[in-house]
Amino acid sequence: MLRYRFPTGIAMATSLALFPATAMTADSGGYLGGGIGYYRLNDDNFLDEDEDFKDDRWTWKAFAGIQFNAVLSVEGGYVDFGSPSDGALEIEADGWTVAALAHLPLTANFAPYGKVGQLFWDRERSTDISRRSDSGNDMFYAVGLRFDLADHVQMRMEYERFSLDDTDLDMGSLNLQYRF
């Protein structure tokens, strides 16, 4: 006796094809945000091989992005690193970022995420007798936690690792974002 069986491969392919369509409608949209952070700066080559520059400093940032589905989003932002100093030595830096985020939605209101992107920075180093400016771009990465606070408001706690050529910045920040 010949029995007809619905191929499980077709059922699985149909389910996977429909999943992104439903995810895009539920979690897609744009967002704007900003926050404050605290970073640790370590510049091993401030002027030459013999000098070391370290400082901790408050900072702020702003960002905007588009979330395509529950898992993937892209964003651009601005970070002002302020003017850390170590005696007569001072660095002033800021930059623009472009990044991709991968979220892991564990519940409807909570998602850890990872972020990787590019920082386009400007930096000015100065002492009492000299001033030097440079700019460039370097890759950065981040990990964070996102919580829903209200219908369109979310909080993000984030750790980011930036490099400005030979200067390393480790930053923790608390951010609010509005989804529309």
Can you point out the beta strands (E) in the chain? 29-43, 53-67, 72-82, 85-86, 89-103, 110-126, 131-148, 153-164, 167-179
Instruction: Give the model's pLDDT for residue 66.
Output: 97
pLDDT surpassing 90 at residue 178: yes
Percent of the chain exceeding pLDDT 90 equals 56
Picking from 37, 44, 84, 38, the residue whose alpha carbon sits closest to that of residue 165 is 44
What tokens appear for 33 in the block?
């945000």
* CATH number, domain 30-179: 2.40.160.20
Domain locations along the chain: 30-179
Per-residue pLDDT of 64-111, as tens digits, reads 999 999 999 999 999 999 887 777 778 889 999 999 999 999 998 999
Whole-prediction pTM value?
0.78
Indicate the pLDDT class of residue 19, thresholds 50, 70 and 90.
very low
In this predicted model, what pLDDT tens digit does every residue of 117-141 receive, in sequence order?
999 999 998 888 889 899 999 999 9
